[in-house]
A and B are shown apart, each in its own frame.
Chain A
Amino acid sequence: MSDTILVVVEQREGKLNRVSWETLTAGQALAAETGWTLEAAVVGSGVGNFANEVAAKKVAKVYAVESPKLEPYTPDAFSAALKQIIESKQPKLVLMPHTYQVRDFVPKLATAMGRTAISDCIGYKKEGGKLLFTRQMFQGKLAADVSFTCDAPWFVTFQNGAFRGDKVEAGASAAPVETVNVQIADGVIRDKPQEVFKEAKQAVDLTQAEIIVSVGRGIKEQKNIELAKQLAEALGGELAASRPICDSGWLPMDRQIGSSGQTVAPKLYLALGISGAIQHIVGMKGAKTIIAINKDSEAPIFEIADLAVVGSLFDIVPPLIEEVKKAKAGS
C-alpha cells in the first residue's frame, strides 16, 4: 500500500478558507513527485458540504471529520479529533496552511503525537529520496532546507501564497467522502471561545486601492508620515503601513498590511522604509509592481521588489512628489 499525504483544509464561519486550495495544490505536487496517495480532511460539525467541495478536486479520498464539539473551533477539540484520524489512517505527511488557526493547534497536535511540525514553509525539495522543506529564517534574510529526523507522521504548514490556489487540479470524478465521527470526551475542551468580531468599522478597504504607499519603521517618527501621505495623494493612492507603525498608534489598525491586517494586490505598492519582514510580505507580495525605498541594501524587501532604490526615503520622496505632480500637471 502506498504512503499517504493528508491535506487538512480549513473551514471557518461557514466557508472553506481559500488558502486551503493552495495547500491542496502543494499536496498534488508532492503526490506527483513522491507517488504517494493524496487524501484530504475537513474538520468540524456538519462539514459534509465542504468535504464535497474538496472531493471535486483531484484527490483519492476526503474525510469529513465530525463532532458537534468541533464547533466552535478550539485547539483542544481539533487536536483530539485530528489525532484520532491520523492514528487511524496513518498518513506519512500531513499538510496544512499556516493560518492563525493552524498555528494555534498544530504544535499541540504534533507534540501530543510525539512528533514535530516544520512550519511556515515556502516550498519543498526532494533530494535522494529525502523530502526537504524550505522555510524563511531571520525575517526572510536567509532560507533553510529542513528535514524530519523522526518517524512519520510528518507535519508541514505552508505559507500563504507559497502555492497557487488557482492551480489546483480538478478531479475526473468526485472522490469518495468518508464521514469519520470522532469522540471528544467531556473535559477535553477547556477554552470557551466567544463570537468572532471586527474591532472598528473599517474606514478604508485597502484591497480596493490600485495604488498604495506604505510606510515602515524607516519613517522614524509619526510626523514624517505626512511625507508619505503627500506622495499617496499626489499619486491618487491610499496610505498603508506595516505592523509596528500601527502598534505605535501612528496610523490606525485598518491601514495595516500583513498577516494580521489586510492582504492586498494593487497595481502599484510603494514600500517606504519597510524592511520586508515575512509577516508584512505575505500581505502584499501579490502586488503587480513593487517599488521599495530603503537605506539597507540587505533588506529582504529587495527580494521581491521590481524597482529598488537603496537610499534614504527622506532624500528620495520629496523630489519624487514634485516629479509626480509635474507629470500629472504637464501630461
Chain B
Amino acid sequence: MKILVCMKQVPQKDAPLKLNESGTWIREDVSYEVNEPDAYALEEALRQKEKHGGEVVVITSGPARAQQVLREALAKGADRAIHLEDNAFVGLDAYNTARAFAAAIKDETFDLIFTGLQSDDYGYAQTGVVVAELLGWPHATIIMQIEKNDAGIRVKRELEAGFFQFVDMPLPAVLTIQSGINKLRYATLIGIKQAKNKPLRKVSMADVQSAVSGNLQKIERLYVPQKTKNTEFLEGSAGEVAKKLVDKLRNEVRVL
C-alpha cells in the first residue's frame, strides 16, 4: 500500500505563547513539535506498511524548521519526504494548503492519504476532508481502526459519547486519524542514521503556484481570551491550600 501522511509542525503543548506586534499571530520564538494526531497517523501508516508492504511518504508545508517533523518521520520508518518549504506557504488556510498538497503529489499514485483529525494550533479539522474533495476521493474522519479487505478497506469511525461505526470504503481514500488509534513508536538510532539518506524533495511556491490562490478567510486578530469566570486562586503551603479547599467544599460547594 502506498500511503501519504500529511504532517504539521505546531508549537509545543506547554510552550508559553506571545502575540506578535500586530496581534495577528504568535511570535515564532517558541519550541515546536509534531502535531500529536499526525504522529498517530504516521504510526498507523507504518503499521499498515509492515502488514501489507508498500511505501510511506510524508509531506509537510512550512518553514525550514518544519523539516524536523519530516526527519523524525523518516527516522521512524517513512520512506521519503516532501517539504513544501517557502515562506509563502505559512499562513495559508486549509483550502489552499490542501490545494498545494494536491498539486505537489499530482504525479504520484497513493492508495491512502492520512492526516491527523485536527491540528493542535488551529484546530479546524478540515485539511484532510478538503484534500479528499479536491482529489475526488471518498473519505472518512476520526478513524480508530483500518483493515484492508478485497473491496478496499473497512474503517472504524469514532462518534461522540463512546459510539463507533464501521464503514466500508473503496480505495483510494483519505482518512483523518484519531489520537489513541495505536501506540507511538520511538525512532531507533539506526533509524535516525538511515533517515539522513532517504529522499527529501523540496517544493517551492512557484512549483504549485497555479493551484494556490488567496485565503478565503482571515484571522483579523489573535488575543488572550477575556476571562468570563471569576476564578479564585488559593495560595499558601500545600497544607494551607488543602484546608482552604475543604472549607470551600463544605461551606460554598456544599459537598461535605
Contact = CB atoms under 8 A, between A and B. Distances in A.
Contact of B225 (A115, A140, A263, A268): A140
A139 B120 contact: yes
A81 B52 CA distance: 37
Interface in A120-156: 120, 132, 135-150
Given A120-B124, A311-B241, A253 B13 contact: no
A139 B95 contact: no
Interface in B123-168: 123-127, 129-130, 132-134, 138-142, 157-168
B245 A254 contact: no
B219 interface: yes
Contact of A197 (B120, B140, B165): B165
Interface residues of A, number: 96
A282 B98 CA distance: 28
A322 interface: yes
A330 to B, nearest CB: 10
Contacts, number: 245
Nearest to A160: B160
A166 interface: no
Given A119-B126, A197-B164, A149 B231 contact: no
B11 interface: yes
A32 interface: no
Contacts of A75: 129, 139-140
A135 B139 CA distance: 26
Interface string B154-197: 00011111111111111000000011100000000000000000
Nearest to B126: A107
Nearest to A143: B225
Interface in A22-79: 75-76, 79
A180 interface: no
Interface in A276-317: 278, 288-289, 291, 296, 298, 302-311, 315-316
A234 to B, nearest CB: 10
A116 B92 CA distance: 12
Contacts of A115: 216
A208 interface: no
Nearest to B243: A323
Interface string B228-247: 01111110001101110110
A147 B217 contact: yes
Given A108-B139, A144-B221, A136 B167 contact: no
A28 B59 CA distance: 43
Interface of A: 75-76, 79, 99-101, 103-108, 110-112, 115-120, 132, 135-150, 190-199, 202, 210-211, 235-236, 243-244, 246-247, 253-254, 256, 259-263, 267-268, 275, 278, 288-289, 291, 296, 298, 302-311, 315-316, 318-320, 322-324, 326-328, 331
Given A142-B225, A149-B216, A261-B162, 8 more contacts: A108-B130, A110-B95, A139-B13, A192-B168, A199-B162, A306-B232, A307-B248, A309-B245
